[in-house]
Homo-oligomer: A and B are copies of this chain.
Amino acid sequence: MKNIYIIGVGLIGGSFALDIKKHFPEKVIHGIDQNSDHLDEALQRNIIDHKTDYSDLGNADLVIIAIPVDATVELLPKILDEVRDDALVVDVGSTKEDICLKVKQHPKRRNFLATHPIAGTEFSGPSAAFNGLYEGKTNIICEVEETAFKLQEQALNLFSTIGMRIRYMNPKAHDKHIAYVSHLSHISSFMLGKTVIEKEKNERDIFDMAGSGFESTVRLAKSSPDMWTPIFRQNKTNVIETLEEYIENLKAFKALMESGDFDGVYDEMKAINHIRDILEGIIKV
């Protein structure tokens, strides 16, 4: 596994490159990106060692695909066509069902491993990449049994060396659960941002009155639409379901307030406070 090809040298792909360089200095990192400015920037920041393109994939021992999930669905079969029989191809997209389905019958399916590292920030591009993004984070691997044993082993070795813990899940369950704990958070944050921006035309008011509570709740509304639109498209059914439940919960809370049932409002919040213990679990591990 000497020649590593990163397709998409942004936050996710770039951070993988940096961690690999740190832990495996003998590897050579080749970068591919449709944005040539990003590619130049990645080279200049020493995130990659060489710029290259898809025609060079026959040289790859490992390919990490870190591009929007619609582009992954489109390009993954072609990438598998190009790589050698002993190469490992990993995708790191936030949806898994469509991606796995797309290559189900591909002759090189066993060269592919579907993963979702639960890591990231609201920023994007090579300048957002940093060393240690994956330290202590979870990587969800789907359909591991469809990947060649030797390649599974190589991938696990890489992930555990950069500090990730592994969980296995089927793609359907992954997409359903992640809609709740990730995709819905993003929409709730975007819509919060929208509601406040619409109302507060005089930005100075937001600027002066917003505290750290607003800032953390609305943080995800800074996220990239290029990345998130394809995610919402691919996970449409699950995301719509979470939105329906979220809207119902908001309406019920509003109804409690309208009817003046503030004991009910109190009880709701008290019960939800239980999220403290859950989050503590997340932070502790």
Residues of chain A touching chain B, judged by Cβ–Cβ distance below 8 Å, are 118-122, 137-138, 140, 167, 177-178, 180-182, 184-200, 203, 205-223, 225-226, 228-229, 232-233, 236, 239-240, 242-247, 249-251, 253-254, 257-258, 260, 262, 265-266, 268-276, 278-279, 281-283, 285
Contact = CB atoms under 8 A, between A and B. Distances in A.
A272 B217 contact: no
Contacts of A180: 195-196, 199-200, 206
| Majority secondary structure of chain A interface residues (helix, strand, loop or mixed) | helix
B167 A185 contact: no
A219 B216 contact: yes
Contact of A210 (B118, B195, B207): B118
Given A232-B257, A244-B254, A214 B185 contact: yes
B206 A246 contact: no
B272 A232 contact: no
Nearest to A123: B276
Nearest to A187: B253
Nearest to A167: B208
Contacts of A192: 184-185, 188, 246
B195 A184 contact: yes
Among A119, A190, A200, find the residue whose CB has the most chain B CB atoms closer than 10 A.
Answer: A190
A196 B246 CA distance: 9
Given A247-B251, A253-B187, A272-B193, A137 B211 contact: yes
Given A118-B211, A193-B272, 11 more contacts: A122-B213, A138-B211, A167-B208, A177-B209, A180-B200, A186-B213, A190-B269, A199-B242, A216-B219, A240-B254, A246-B250
